Amino acid sequence: MRRSLPFILSAAFAAFAGQAQAADLAVDAPAEAVAVPVDIWVATIKGTGFYQPRFEGSKEYHFTGAPGLSIRRGNEPYKIGSPDDGIDLALINTPSIQFGPTARIHGERDSSDVRRFRGMDNIDYGIEPGAFLEYYPTEFIRLRGEARYGLWGSNGFSGTVAADGIFIYDKLTVLVGPRLELGDRKYMNTYFGVSAGEAADVGGISRYKAGGGIKSVGAAASATYQLTNEWSVTAFGRYDRYVDEAGKSPVTRTLGTKNAFTAGLGVGYSFAWNGFHF
């Protein structure tokens, strides 16, 4: 049975209720902008709009949007995040190391949306929970890794490796760096495999079983400007190139494309309050 996006969003946010540190669609306000006591919490509410492919391999693009929320204690270092980070909660949060659970929502594939894909199986929205680790060898370099397991969508393991240079110019913070996406056999075959039935229904393609490995390589960049102590805006972009098993698939070679672009614009509002007491 196909699950609706509201159902999955509710499940995702419920998993991190109260203290969830959501995907960073805008960089949190600089520490000096929200300097607060230890027993005070700092929250940033975010909203963003995306322009991105309808699904993996699609040549057709669409607009979509998503909310975001990040929460930290007043004595914890503020988190410089990239728009393509997963939802996360830093259980360990130091200036050089951050570690904790993470999750991503993987978009559905509705083959009826794209004419060339009609005949391919639909794929449900999925939640991919897991763990993340961030390491800052210097204050201007961020290294991040995520390992996740797909629920409802792929039911396979996937991962992300990212590195960012951090450039701060007064009220402007810029992040830029490479990206690497990986998946095991089950994950890759869900999104890039072609069954015999699909090949017959679509026509012009052959059956294909995708193996595990590197899914894509690319780069991402974001720029956040702090308008006031509370308000910030973020613009970002990302490019991915499907390679290896994903790049050899009829999904990208024949039906769609090996190239994927994402662009977006987000707004963030930060405030301090004493809502949590432990």
Domain ranges of the chain: 5-273
Q: Which of 42-51, 79-88, 268-277 has the lowest mean pLDDT?
A: 268-277
Confidence band of 248 (pLDDT split at 50, 70, 90): very high
pLDDT of residue 18: 33
Please report which confidence band the pLDDT of residue 194 belongs to, taking 50, 70 and 90 as the band edges.
very high
Q: Residue 67 above 90 pLDDT? A: no
User: Of the ranges 90-104, 131-145, 197-211, which one carries the lowest mean pLDDT score?
Assistant: 90-104
Q: What is the pLDDT of residue 154?
A: 79
Is the confidence at residue 116, as pLDDT, over 50? yes
- Using the predicted structure, report yes or no on whether residue 145 has a pLDDT greater than 90: yes
| Chain segment 13-47, per-residue pLDDT in tens | 333 333 333 333 333 434 444 454 556 788 888 88
Cβ neighbours for 133, distance < 8 A, ≥ 6 positions apart: 97, 98, 99, 144, 145
pTM: 0.81
- Per-residue confidence (pLDDT) for residue 30, from 0 to 100: 46
In tens, the pLDDT along 155-183 reads 899 999 999 999 999 999 999 999 999 99
What confidence category does residue 80 fall into, taking pLDDT thresholds of 50, 70 and 90? confident
What kind of architecture, by CATH, is found in domain 5-273?
Answer: Beta Barrel (2.40)
The single-letter code of the amino acid at 206 is S
pLDDT at 58: 96
What pLDDT, on the 0 to 100 scale, is given for residue 275?
59
* Segment 123-139, tens digit of pLDDT: 998 899 999 999 999 99
